[in-house]
Structure 1
């Protein structure tokens, strides 16, 4: 199984670090003859942000996984993690040091994880420069006659030539990469290619929303209908854009997972990040016809399988404790993990609230989806798999929060907490919440008025209006979910502004670092687009969108921010 991470900023590096660390620790457990003490250290979890006293300076990932996750993880000896990076910002520094490593700092501890596969792609500027050079060569050739020749590029070759090239580089035996990773899709199909040309099993995208299309373009040819794509980004609208531009045929579309995180990270340098504050990572699987009529969310994990299972038999630990003498009777057992709650058989079989991987059909087109979900659940980042309905509600609330805080902090050049209590800022945030609530209410009304999808609703294919509806407990009438009303959204914005008072918003950082663009079209611009679809006035969101775009062009001001 080959995992690919597209976008190695702060969050992308955090995910890649723990994903690779988990694979490495699984490999160590397969090595013969580890002592009981080392085995215990490997099984300790850092979910509480604590490091083992005997191993100062390392960040240990958790291997104390519940059975329903352990059984779905792929063979660690055939798993690898590939980082996709643009050559311009990373090429020179990556060659000088740590070419395949990520440095992560947490609670003052700096740790390094290596063994990554790297794949450098040209940036947009590099592609433009290449086109200019090709045009100049063509002009020179026209002037001097047919005396020179040029080597044709792969992107200009015909489909028959591409097929012939693939036929020459394929094999019936596995072709592992430098870390031993073998493509799961190639194994299922029985045809293997070179690692840099084979199909992508699992792709985790953490790039900025406005850079997704250009970043994905370079590796789009490696995406297979059986691939799984995880979108871990701010804003909304990227999924619809990918469906419209790259994956119009629903039957040939990869599996998609939507994710969102509240972990606090910032980047010190290329592949060097600080995990400043713990949060959560939520994800939901985008509905697909491959799941059948029951969907991916029909099964729940039995309560007994949600608990981590100790490696040693219970009877052996009890005998050791019984035979121990003196203070050894109170010392932790060498093979023991954290305390495990024992359940009676009836409670152990009762369904829990956790979604089960057994709800994903075990078929070739969904095999990478099962392993990707298991890999996400294995990360020590407080990961929760929730229904797509709950995830959509969470994403909409986060969208409105970002629509209030991000543009205002970027325009005012201030931290999040500086907005709280400021009359002008509070008034602007209330107006944004009011417009967002009106747009969502209009979508619910139109959905209820007609059982057939209207042209306006088809503009947002991934957002189902049914997910926004809640039946009143008193009258039974359908209504907009209470968490999406303007009043509820405004209270949530204030709460987040207080909790993140000392933080700088991502949009403020984009302007400060002179990135050249922001995610405004996928935040306030997304609300404005929905408003136009339902004939709802969104003056405040339109204005904030245009002001951010104006400031991004550096047409006004002192050019400091």
Structure 2
């Protein structure tokens, strides 16, 4: 008996199709898609691609995802594909002419090679797109999600679920169920749809606590939606993911540990334009790390969600978090952080969901996080510098365009959102 049948026996609702949609085809998205495709009884998997150029890259890889273990590629095929074009989702037909496959596909020819699935219901959506673009990505499929859907959020940083509640799913009664996940596998990109697995880690998942699903119900699987039961069971029983389910309180602690590491390695490597390992050999950087961790620890200690949980003082002490950060930086010493890649590409970073989240929660709890606030502003400012360099000009004093002096004044007067 497969996972869909197991869940269908437990509910009087129509049986699930078992289809899993994956939004975001970076390292984690490709890893999960490959792992699900490796199961003996694989579910139907749909990759949601945000434009035709990404689809063309997928075609050049012969519609496959390759995961490299110890220098050897394991290749999986058989994925369904949907592409977003002019705000409409299209399922790419499997029988395409060679001419259309090898050429760039203009939007006015989309109907020739695809079918409109813009309103097809999505049961289980795994979102691995970065936190900085998650809102825009999920908004594109909002109309295909219902209160019976489950969204698995797999972003670095914190606050994504709260952002979705305030920006997209405003009504708690119509809101999909959120499942949040933390991944510790070592993954690096070789090419598009080609990922190297550098170190075995784990994945931990738990339903989020919301107005619709308070803490006690989130821990009691008898209250979970059928799609939630299905996707959690599917992920937990997929061997290569090494996944487990836990309580929301336990997951929060895993998230906060990873947040502390990300709040140090990501912005500092981006600001210094260096690899993760190079951060460990600069005394001034290690001092900055210590100061950041004092603020981060203070905020974590004060979180109402963790009050009464035993062992919090030891687990989130500045010294223990520093040791974890050093260990991660050593293990990934030759890697460049995702934030550094975003800066070099002129893309928005995840700083608001890392140090920005620490600042926001600190303000709510009456704790001033001046150093994290400064790091947040420095990264956001550096993004603007890189974007302006990409545009080959930095405006000085033209009519209607702020000068460099005005821009500096704006930075110094900006308050944390």
Short-chain TM bin: 0.7 to 0.9
CA distance in 1, matches of 2:44, 2:243: 21
**Residues 293 and 318, structure 2, Cα contact 8 Å, conserved in 1:** yes
| Corresponding residue of 1:470 | 309
1:416 to 256, 276, 301: 276
Residue 76 of structure 2 is aligned to residue 116 of structure 1: no
Specify the SS of the correspondent of 1:501. coil
Residues 505-546 of structure 1: per-residue CA shift (max 9 Å, x gap): 11122223x142111111011111112223322121111111
Residue 48 of structure 2 is aligned to residue 84 of structure 1: yes
CA distance in 2, matches of 1:470, 1:288: 19
Query: In structure 2, do the counterparts of structure 1 residues 225 and 235 end up closer, same or farther at CA, with 3 Å as the change threshold?
Result: same
Residues 259-283 of structure 1: per-residue CA shift (max 9 Å, x gap): 0111122222222222222111111
2:236 to 377, 397, 415: 377
| Corresponding residue of 1:440 | 300
Query: In structure 2, do the counterparts of structure 1 residues 224 and 556 end up closer, same or farther at CA, with 3 Å as the change threshold?
Result: closer
Shift of 1:16: 0.6
CA distance in 2, matches of 1:531, 1:293: 23
Residue 222 of structure 2 is aligned to residue 360 of structure 1: yes
Matches within 5 A, 1:139-538: 197-287=119-209, 294-298=216-220, 359-361=221-223, 366-379=225-238, 380-443=240-303, 465-470=304-309, 480-512=312-344, 514-538=345-369
CA distance in 1, matches of 2:249, 2:214: 18
Shift of 1:413: 1.7
**Residues 468 and 481, structure 1, Cα contact 8 Å, conserved in 2:** no
| Corresponding residue of 1:551 | 382
Shift of 1:292: 8.4
| Corresponding residue of 1:21 | 38
Specify the SS of the correspondent of 1:424. helix
Specify the SS of the correspondent of 2:368. coil
Unpaired runs of 5+ residues, structure 2, are 1-17, 95-114, 391-417
**Residues 360 and 370, structure 1, Cα contact 8 Å, conserved in 2:** no
Shift of 1:439: 2.1
After superposition, the CA RMSD in angstroms is 2.9
TM-score (normalizing by structure 2):
0.77
Residues 132-156 of structure 1: per-residue CA shift (max 9 Å, x gap): xxxxxxxxxxxxxxxxxxxxxx89x
CA distance in 1, matches of 2:310, 2:173: 34
CA distance in 1, matches of 2:84, 2:116: 17
CA distance in 2, matches of 1:90, 1:470: 45
CA distance in 1, matches of 2:382, 2:229: 44
Shift of 1:95: 4.1
Shift of 1:199: 1.0
Residues 157-212 of structure 1: per-residue CA shift (max 9 Å, x gap): xxxxxxxxxxxxxxxxxxxx97xxxxxxxxxxxxxx98653210100000010101
Higher Cα Rg: structure 1 or 2?
1
**Residues 67 and 195, structure 2, Cα contact 8 Å, conserved in 1:** yes
Specify the SS of the correspondent of 1:235. coil
**Residues 104 and 275, structure 1, Cα contact 8 Å, conserved in 2:** yes
Residues 328-371 of structure 1: per-residue CA shift (max 9 Å, x gap): xxxxxxxxxxxxxxxxxxxxxxxxxxxxxxx334xxx7111111
Query: In structure 2, do the counterparts of structure 1 residues 268 and 89 end up closer, same or farther at CA, with 3 Å as the change threshold?
Result: farther
RCO comparison, higher one (Cα < 8 Å, 6+): 1
Specify the SS of the correspondent of 1:224. coil
**Residues 33 and 45, structure 2, Cα contact 8 Å, conserved in 1:** yes
| Corresponding residue of 1:309 | none
CA distance in 1, matches of 2:169, 2:161: 10
**Residues 52 and 83, structure 2, Cα contact 8 Å, conserved in 1:** no
Shift of 1:499: 2.9
**Residues 301 and 313, structure 2, Cα contact 8 Å, conserved in 1:** no
Residues 273-301 of structure 1: per-residue CA shift (max 9 Å, x gap): 22222111111111367778953435xxx
Unpaired runs of 5+ residues, structure 1, are 27-75, 128-153, 156-176, 179-192, 299-358, 444-464, 473-479
**Residues 288 and 295, structure 1, Cα contact 8 Å, conserved in 2:** no
**Residues 393 and 468, structure 1, Cα contact 8 Å, conserved in 2:** no
Q: Provide runs of 4+ in structure 1 moved above 6 Å.
A: 289-293, 556-559
Specify the SS of the correspondent of 2:335. coil
Aligned residue-pair number: 350
